[in-house]
A and B are shown apart, each in its own frame.
Chain A
Amino acid sequence: MDWTAVALTLKLAACTTVVLGVFGLPLAYWLATTRRAWRPLVDAAVAVPLLLPPTVLGFYFLMSTGPETLVGRLYERLAGGTIPFSFAGVLAASVLYNLPFAVRPFAAGFGAVDPRLVEAARCLGASPARAFMRVMLPLSWPSVLTGLVLAFAHTVGEFGVVLMVGGNIPGVTRTIALSIYDDVQALDYAGANEASLLLLVFAVAVLTLTYGLQRRVVPL
């Protein structure tokens, strides 16, 4: 088993989950509460990775972040190096690709909370942040947890995007999914089998956990 790949995969999944937690929660809260006319557009942008094959995202990502592009030049000046083939690049692509898996459950959870409870907290003098942390989050935590678990699990199982923008560098961009692919390509079916079994067990465990959590929420 390629333990470097396992460690890298867990690191990538953890970082993706943290980034989606930090940026996804406010975004989801905004989506759940706003009445702006262009909300559907933002909704669509968040959900579009569900419909697009990872090749599309990977292809556009590769084309728009190369060293010749504006984004690529800016990144090089600030951080040095290139976006594709780096951990940061794979992380960015992974965050984009997993956006719906985190933000949609978040937003569904926030939407199910009675807005009057948050308003009551505000009337009693709580700041928006405090109302969110003390009222909204405690009432919707199973959905938030579901979103985070799904984002983590989906990153572990991600293949296409990493294949397109990663460059298969050991310890940097070679995740367990790529390592399995390499095993199959090299006719090492025993190795592929071992890692695949690990992923299968992991996936079943995560889904069982997720469904277990959902049972405890008010049915959505």
Chain B
Amino acid sequence: MHVNRLVPTLFILIAAAGAVRTPASEPRLGQPVAAPARTVRVAAASDLKFALDEAISRLKRLDASIEVEAAYGSSGNFHAQLRQHAPFDLYLSADAVYPRDLVRSGIGLERDLFTYAVGRLVVWVPHRSTLPIERDHLRTLVGARRVAIANPRHAPYGRAAEAALRREGIWNQIQPRLVLGENIAQTAQFVQSGAADVGLVAKSLVVAPAMAGAGRYWEIPAHEHAPLVQGGLVLPWASSREAALRVRDYLLSVEGRKLLQAFGFGLPDDSSRLSASPGESSPRAWSREPKVN
């Protein structure tokens, strides 16, 4: 009896509370309204974690009206999500293949493709390790029990690692001892936790302040593998196209490029146009398709 009456009463109370609150929260006429901050949501490759965080805070100082929200993850995951129109404004992939594929499948314009950095691969060991990477370089891996690399099947750093190991002629020897990280950050984490002895990881991760004190690295010369050209795309459904372009332009500016270099990235020969049709631009980098085993 009481309960039966209570429920409609509660509904009426809630409705009344809502009716009272709604007009109060709306801006009243005549009040000054602050300029709306334009938010740029960035889907960023995990090797950008430290560099992009720094870039965002510097950009914020230059232009306070732009709010950048970065989500870090696997470029391939973002690619699959963006094909389903995930609500990001800017895509910063670790591989130029992914944004180009989006444009080919009808998402985004060719003129919104760009390249912004070249990833560098290093051999990395924690401080406690006695592996002589400074002396033996890639050969060091022969004496390791577990070697962590990113998955060569889909991670660009993994492909580069495989290429470098093959070039050194130790791929077959190392292969049984490989553990594969889902992305380059997880690969670094496998080594940091001690579960793997040594890893081939992104220089951008190991020179960042958060990890610089944790280990030693040796940089694999760029000619040992195909260049890890990182590409991006301004998405056609960006809520503020102008703000998204502003973020892109900052990364391609002199200051942005310096910052990327300081965080262990190389720079693409021609910052920044990336073509959707293979054969233009730098064919060596673009013609790599994700391999299917």
**Chain A residues near B (Cβ < 8 Å):** 62-63, 65-69, 72, 81-82, 84-85, 163, 167-169, 181-182, 184-188, 191
Binary per-residue interface labels of chain B (165-184) against chain A in the complex, 1 for a CB within 8 Å, 0 otherwise: 00000000000001111100
10 contacts between A and B (CB under 8 A): A69-B194, A84-B195, A168-B180, A169-B180, A185-B76, A185-B77, A185-B153, A186-B153, A187-B76, A191-B292
Q: Check if B148 sits within 8 Å of A167, measured CB to CB.
A: yes
Q: Does B79 contact A (CB under 8 A)?
A: yes
Q: Check if B182 sits within 8 Å of A62, measured CB to CB.
A: no
Q: Check if B196 sits within 8 Å of A85, measured CB to CB.
A: yes
Known A85-B179, A163-B182, A168-B151; judge A187-B194 contact (CB<8 A): no
Number of A-B contacts defined by CB within 8 Å:
73
Chain B minimum-CB-distance residue to A188: B292
Q: Tell me how far the C-beta of A215 lies from the nearest C-beta in chain B, rounded to whole angstroms.
A: 33
Q: Check if B179 sits within 8 Å of A66, measured CB to CB.
A: no
Q: Tell me how far the C-beta of A75 lies from the nearest C-beta in chain B, rounded to whole angstroms.
A: 12
Q: Which residues of A contact B190 (CB under 8 A)?
A: 84, 167
Q: Which residues of A contact B182 (CB under 8 A)?
A: 163, 168, 181
Ordered nearest first, which 5 A-B pairs have the shortest CB separation? A167-B179, A185-B76, A185-B154, A168-B180, A66-B194
Q: Does B111 contact A (CB under 8 A)?
A: no
Chain A minimum-CB-distance residue to B101: A187
Given pairs A181-B182, A186-B76, A191-B292, 18 additional interface contacts (CB within 8 A)? A66-B194, A72-B194, A81-B145, A82-B145, A84-B193, A85-B196, A168-B151, A168-B181, A169-B178, A182-B154, A184-B77, A185-B74, A185-B76, A185-B77, A185-B155, A186-B290, A187-B101, A187-B290
SS class of chain A's interface: helix, strand, loop or mixed? loop
SS class of chain B's interface: helix, strand, loop or mixed? loop
Q: Tell me how far the C-beta of A175 lies from the nearest C-beta in chain B, rounded to whole angstroms.
A: 13
Q: Does B291 contact A (CB under 8 A)?
A: yes
Q: Which residues of B contact A163 (CB under 8 A)?
A: 182
Q: Does B216 contact A (CB under 8 A)?
A: no
Q: Which residues of A contact B80 (CB under 8 A)?
A: 184-185, 187
A185 to B193, CA, bound (A): 25
A82 to B196, CA, bound (A): 9
Among B148, B151, B178, B291, which residue has the most Cβ atoms of chain A within 10 A? B151
Q: Tell me how far the C-beta of B269 lies from the nearest C-beta in chain A, rounded to whole angstroms.
A: 26
Q: Does B248 contact A (CB under 8 A)?
A: no
A182 to B293, CA, bound (A): 11
Q: Which residues of A contact B155 (CB under 8 A)?
A: 185
Among B180, B195, B291, which residue has the most Cβ atoms of chain A within 10 A? B195
Q: Does B203 contact A (CB under 8 A)?
A: no
Q: Check if A182 sits within 8 Å of B151, measured CB to CB.
A: yes
A163 to B189, CA, bound (A): 13
A210 to B79, CA, bound (A): 37
A65 to B196, CA, bound (A): 12
Q: Check if A63 sits within 8 Å of B193, measured CB to CB.
A: yes
Chain B minimum-CB-distance residue to A166: B179
A62 to B191, CA, bound (A): 11
